[in-house]
């Protein structure tokens, strides 16, 4: 199926789900002490139609604006109206994907504030968006602690504040998380989930969907699901004996997934396979295009 980028895959799937882009913007909601959220329409992965913009700080400001991701002028205007009377300290980015950064440059330029992100995110955005402040794991910024959680994206950051964590695309309140082998890493993603589960915050504030109040339970669920899927890959490889193509494995491992989502499922399958090859649990014959145990 080739190597399309994540945004191209999102567009491909959106076309198969009529009305996914028609949902209205949602209102500003308090989700934790010193954290409010505004869900704005973005070109994201269905069934989600919004990306959450988090405002971190006191009700009268100053606030840090996390992931102003909408590229649409009408959605940016909604955010501008809400922020009109609030001082802003900076724009914070969890990672580089378009549905998280689509409005960052416009907001930063309009309000004359810096954009801050992990160095790997800054590299990914080079010549697209100017990141003027770099954030490393453990840095304290705008009352939060930055936690580097690579896997979905190499520069992914979560922002912890008290017992809550702005979780970006580590988990989702609606839909799922794609690990694309072109820029993601399944082993790192699982390690990041484990690290998050071991930390104090219990409320996860995802980029898509409502707050997840029992964060530890959700992280345990995510880890169990990914490990279940990996075991299915291993079982399919054993059953294939001499080897199987990606398409054959896809039809077996993701038999429980609607066929219209298989373009995305294929990317996750390849991420699992890359992990297994690295761990010497699978092999790939490039000449024959077949995977084996």
Locate the domains of the chain by residue range.
6-214, 228-292
Domains 6-214 and 228-292 equal at CATH topology level: no
Q: Which stretches of 29-87 are assigned E, i.e. beta strand? A: 29-32, 35-41, 50-56, 63-66
- Residue 35's DSSP bridge partners are 32, 56
Task: Check residue 96 and give its pLDDT.
Answer: 98
- Tokens (6 digits) for 192: 């990041």
Residue (of 123, 149, 124) closest to 138 by Cα position? 149
For the chain, the first-to-last Cα distance in angstroms comes to 23
CATH class of 228-292: mainly alpha
CATH superfamily of 6-214: Ribonuclease Z/Hydroxyacylglutathione hydrolase-like (3.60.15.10)
Q: E strand or H helix at 160, and its extent?
A: strand 157-161
Task: Check residue 16 and give its pLDDT.
Answer: 46
- Give the burial class of 286: count Cβ atoms within 10 A of its Cβ; 0-12 exposed, 13-18 middle, 19 or more buried: exposed
Tokens 């100017």 belong to residue: 130
Q: How far is CA 214 from the centre of its chain?
A: 19
Task: Check residue 261 and give its pLDDT.
Answer: 87
Overall pTM surpassing 0.75 (yes/no) = yes
- Catalytic residue positions? 99
Task: Check residue 61 and give its pLDDT.
Answer: 84
Starting at the edge strand found earlier in the chain, the sheet holding 164-168 runs: 140-141, 144-148, 157-161, 164-168, 203-206
C-beta neighbour count of 198 within 10 angstroms? 9
Print pLDDT tens along the chain (293 aa).
Answer: 334 455 665 555 445 444 444 444 558 999 999 999 999 999 988 888 899 999 999 999 899 999 999 999 999 999 999 999 999 999 999 999 999 999 999 999 999 999 999 999 999 999 999 999 999 999 999 999 999 999 999 999 999 999 999 999 999 998 889 999 999 999 999 999 999 999 998 999 999 999 999 999 999 999 999 999 999 999 999 999 889 999 999 999 999 999 988 998 999 999 999 999 999 999 999 999 999 99
Tokens 């080739």 belong to residue: 2
């Amino acid at each position: 199926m080739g190597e399309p980028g994540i945004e191209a895959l999102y567009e491909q799937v959106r076309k198969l789900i009529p009305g996914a882009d028609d949902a209205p913007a949602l209102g500003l909601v308090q989700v934790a002490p010193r954290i409010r959220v505004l869900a704005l329409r973005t070109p994201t992965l269905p069934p989600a139609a919004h990306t959450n913009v988090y405002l971190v700080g006191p009700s009268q400001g100053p606030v840090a604006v996390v992931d102003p991701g909408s590229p649409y002028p009408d959605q940016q205007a909604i955010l501008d109206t809400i922020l009109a009377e609030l001082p802003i300290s900076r724009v914070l980015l969890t990672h580089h994907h378009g549905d998280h950064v689509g409005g960052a440059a416009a907001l930063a330029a309009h309000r004359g504030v810096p954009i801050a992100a992990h160095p790997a995110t800054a590299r990914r955005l080079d010549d697209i968006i100017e990141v003027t402040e770099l954030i490393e794991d453990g840095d304290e910024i705008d009352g939060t602690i930055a936690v580097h959680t690579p896997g979905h994206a190499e520069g992914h950051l979560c922002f912890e504040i008290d017992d809550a964590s702005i979780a970006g695309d580590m988990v989702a309140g609606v839909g799922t998380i794609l690990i694309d082998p072109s820029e993601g890493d399944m082993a790192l993603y699982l390690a990041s989930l484990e690290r998050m589960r071991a930390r104090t915050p219990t409320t996860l504030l995802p980029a898509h969907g409502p707050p997840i109040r029992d964060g530890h339970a959700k992280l345990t669920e995510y880890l169990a699901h990914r490990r279940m899927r990996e075991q299915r890959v291993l079982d399919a490889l054993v059953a294939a004996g001499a080897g199987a193509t990606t398409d054959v494995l896809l039809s077996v491992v993701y038999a429980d997934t609607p066929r219209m989502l298989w373009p995305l499922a294929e990317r996750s399958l390849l991420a699992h396979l890359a992990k297994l090859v690295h761990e010497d649990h699978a092999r790939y014959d490039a000449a024959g295009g077949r995977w084996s145990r």
